[in-house]
Structure 1
Amino acid sequence: MEAPGGTVTPHVRRLLDFAEPSPEDVCLDVARGSGPMPAALSPQVRQVTAVDAAPGPPARLDERGRATTVEFGTGPVRIADDPAAGSLHRAAVRRGNPDAVPAAAATQRGHAPDSIRVRAEATALPYQDDTFSLVTTRFSLYSLGDPGRVLRELLRVCKPGGRLIIADVVRTNLAGSDRDWIERLRDPAHPGIFSIAGLTELITSSGANVRRLDVFTVERPVEPWLAGAVSLSAAAQIRQALTDEVDGGPKTGAKPRIIGGELWFTQNWAHVAAEPI
């Protein structure tokens, strides 16, 4: 999507429409690794900061217990190579936003505002309170640390009246946890799929009001999902269980079927819009 002529996938477009970005928004996207949201948001907002919060070596914490910021590739805007951008960046540092590259810096070089990319801990973001008007996290909430702590940190940096947009896999409130064993086989650290009610309760208990909710069913091919399995043997076990179900075997809760000769399975996805209290 970030390549010239790249497109936004239908699922990302649906989340983008749900987030309702505006030209005045200053956005933060927190993900495990890189994700599609910064590139999708950049043309529609004033600025995007993309935090790669993938677990790794312990981050250095400052005197307030927040992670220090490490910049990595930012596309067409290179602070070190651009005197205009450098002076604007230094001014941003004096205002307390060390990671900002103002839109003006990109405009002077003939580019749209570029997203800033940093590495930081999701539970100790290196930003002041009430910094961003739009905060997003997509399929990362349960893999960045304790979900409650992550949510409280995302809400801390979200301005009053701002929006926190969460996208994640859920199960319906009446569904059991039958398929959690597949998730934990793929990723032993997986906490299990939260129910819709469980997710909304977690958000409200972390200090936010849920304003909107979008829940829908998605069918997706198995192989790209299994590429993230902890081991080849775990992937093979899951693949076999899904294939057995297609052939009339025990239910897994994933509702697999064969489409165009490929094995597909089903997930429920939820988009949640929350506002800090």
Structure 2
Amino acid sequence: MPHPATEIHESGGTVTPHVRRLLDFAEPTGDDVCLDVARGRGPMPAALSPQVRHVTAVDAAPPPSAWDGRPDGKGRVPTVEFGTGPVRIADADPAGPRRSQHAAPRQNDLTDPDGFPVTSADELTVRAEATALPYQDNAFSLVTTRFSLYNLGDPARVLRELLRVTRPGGRLIIADVVRTNLAGADRDWIERVRDPDHPGTFSIAGLTDLITSAGANVRRLDVFTVERPVEPWLAGAHSLAAAAEIREALEEEIDGGPRTGAKPRVIGGELWFTQNWAHVAAEPI
């Protein structure tokens, strides 16, 4: 049974359990020079900052070929933010996190959708294409990308670029939604109703194969199940009609209708659904 998504307070801010799990998986150290690449702003730069020597954040745009006439007039796709809202992690560790001893919190910070204080985008974030990062080879010991890999252009090209800037012996940490190896691609129909441009969700094997084909060894893998409230997720639907279609399908499943693969249920009077998330630690070959 999933545990409630309680908040954990540390010197770096309010840490939600899914972000804490990713931090523990990444194993940051006080010597790490880090790069976080995301579509919009996320919690990782502020979460990592108290624990490492330096963090650079890139708000990444897809390459021009992926813009499809949607740029803002300057060749820059408007950014989006991935706010998970509350989640329940099926095997969350109730023992809590390890406290960082490396740095004091920053002052005058804003708060991102996951509850972390972050500095303003102008102070913190570099804007660049994920397939053409403005950094030298082997520049970072720890590179992270969270819920962004499929939204930054061709995933294989993005991975090769992330690996290019990762030092030998360093690690690339990827967090994203996956399908189990036994789940069919039809599970993505909900994603495509919500977002017609959704590229499809990799199976666990498909994601690890993509990483190895890009030139890395998979060192560690953490796959787990989360439950999320439907409404914050549906707030990102491309239309009210699409949101209503998904909501109706999930409610029908609860009443005994066709299965969607999302395993919906009602928690505290709200409709929730299930996703599989994966954390992958890769090392350049």
- Into which bin does the TM-score normalised by the smaller protein fall? 0.7 to 0.9
Q: Match of 2:51? A: 44
Q: Distance in 2 between matches of 1:39 and 1:119?
A: 17
Q: Distance in 2 between matches of 1:206 and 1:59?
A: 31
Shift in Å at residue 178 of structure 1?
A: 2.2
Partners of 1:221 and 1:263 within 8 A in 2: yes
Partners of 1:22 and 1:44 within 8 A in 2: yes
SS in 2 for 1:255: coil
- Please give the residue correspondences for 1:97-136 in structure 2 after superposition, counting only pairs within 5 Å: 116-136=124-144
Partners of 1:48 and 1:116 within 8 A in 2: no
- Residue-by-residue CA offset, 1:87-114 (whole Å, 9 max, x unaligned): xxxxxxxxxxxxxxxxxxx99x999xx8
- Identify if the C-alpha distance between structure 1 residues 256 and 46 changes in structure 2 by more than 3 Å, giving closer, same or farther: same
SS in 1 for 2:243: helix
- Please give the residue correspondences for 1:218-257 in structure 2 after superposition, counting only pairs within 5 Å: 218-257=226-265
Partners of 2:12 and 2:47 within 8 A in 1: no
Q: Distance in 1 between matches of 2:49 and 2:205?
A: 32
Q: Match of 2:84? A: none
TM-score by length of 2: 0.75
**Unpaired runs of at least 5, structure 1:** 61-66, 68-105
Q: Match of 2:219? A: 211
Q: Match of 1:17? A: 24
- Residue-by-residue CA offset, 1:130-165 (whole Å, 9 max, x unaligned): 111000000100011000000001001111111000
Partners of 1:186 and 1:234 within 8 A in 2: yes
- Identify if the C-alpha distance between structure 1 residues 28 and 59 changes in structure 2 by more than 3 Å, giving closer, same or farther: farther
Choose between structure 1 and 2: higher helix proportion. 1
Give the AA of the match of 2:231.
Answer: E
Q: Distance in 1 between matches of 2:256 and 2:34?
A: 47
- Identify if the C-alpha distance between structure 1 residues 59 and 152 changes in structure 2 by more than 3 Å, giving closer, same or farther: farther
Superposition misfits of 4+ residues, deviation over 6 angstroms: none
Shift in Å at residue 242 of structure 1?
A: 0.7
The alignment status of 1:35 with 2:59, answered yes or no, reads: no
Partners of 2:195 and 2:237 within 8 A in 1: yes
- Residue-by-residue CA offset, 1:6-47 (whole Å, 9 max, x unaligned): 311000000000000000111000111100111100000011
SS in 2 for 1:7: strand
Give the AA of the match of 1:180.
Answer: D
The alignment status of 1:264 with 2:248, answered yes or no, reads: no
Q: Distance in 2 between matches of 1:213 and 1:241?
A: 32
Partners of 1:133 and 1:163 within 8 A in 2: yes
- Residue-by-residue CA offset, 1:223-268 (whole Å, 9 max, x unaligned): 1111111111111111111111111111100000000000000000
Q: Distance in 2 between matches of 1:39 and 1:209?
A: 28
Q: Match of 1:153? A: 161
Partners of 2:216 and 2:283 within 8 A in 1: yes
Larger radius of gyration: 1
Percent identity at matched positions? 82
**Unpaired runs of at least 5, structure 2:** 1-6, 63-70, 77-102, 109-118
Moved more, 210-219 or 242-251: 242-251
Q: Distance in 1 between matches of 2:32 and 2:12?
A: 24
The alignment status of 1:180 with 2:188, answered yes or no, reads: yes
Kindly report the root-mean-square deviation, in angstroms, between the aligned alpha carbons of the 2 structures: 2.7
TM-score by length of 1: 0.78
SS in 2 for 1:53: strand
Q: Distance in 2 between matches of 1:59 and 1:134?
A: 31
Partners of 1:185 and 1:234 within 8 A in 2: yes
Q: Distance in 2 between matches of 1:161 and 1:226?
A: 40
Q: Distance in 2 between matches of 1:53 and 1:5?
A: 24
Q: Distance in 1 between matches of 2:60 and 2:23?
A: 21
Q: Distance in 1 between matches of 2:20 and 2:250?
A: 29
